[in-house]
Amino acid sequence: MGKNQKVYTREFKEEAVRLAQTSGKPITQIARELGISDSAIHSWRKELAEHGSEAFPGKGHQTALEEEVARLKRELGRVQQERDILKKVVSIFSRDQR
């Protein structure tokens, strides 16, 4: 059976990182008080440092870069379909001229 992974809100993660940075308590103690692993706080702190306001986009939410990639993939698919249609039209018309 699959393991149920807990999902934490962006606010919870930011608050946990803030507590780890400002409380003066060891991260292991903060993690124990919050009911999470200390490695979770470390990874959240790293993600927040690397991505700033775009950290923790949440389920179904994407960073601006991921949204742009998805948009470009959709556009590429559409353009490829248009190209394929034009190739078929050209082959049909070139057959009729022979």
The pLDDT tens digits of the residues spanning 48-79 come to: 888 877 777 666 666 778 788 989 999 999 99
Q: Looking at the structure, tell me whether residues 49 and 76 fall in a common domain.
A: no
Tens-digit pLDDT profile for residues 21-49: 898 889 999 999 999 998 999 998 998 88
- C-alpha–C-alpha distance, residues 9 and 50, integer Å: 18
Instruction: Kindly tell me if the per-residue pLDDT of 9 is higher than 90.
Output: no
Do 32 and 45 belong together in one domain?
yes
* Dist CA 56 CA 17 (whole Å): 12
pTM score of the predicted model: 0.55
State which residues form the domain around 94. 62-98
Instruction: Specify whether 43 is located in the same domain as 79.
Output: no
How far from the centroid of its chain's Cα atoms is residue 60's Cα? 8
Same domain, 83 and 42: no
Domain total of the chain = 2
Could you give the residue ranges of the DSSP H alpha helices within the chain? Answer: 10-22, 27-34, 38-51, 64-96
Q: What is the spatial distance between Cα 95 and Cα 42, in angstroms, rounded to a whole number?
A: 66
Sequence-distant (6+) residues with CB within 8 A of 43 are none
Residues 45 and 7 occupy one common structural domain:
yes
Regarding whether 87 and 47 lie in a shared domain, the answer is: no
Given a cut of 90, whether residue 87 has pLDDT beyond it is yes
Based on the fold, state whether residues 53 and 67 are members of the same structural domain: no
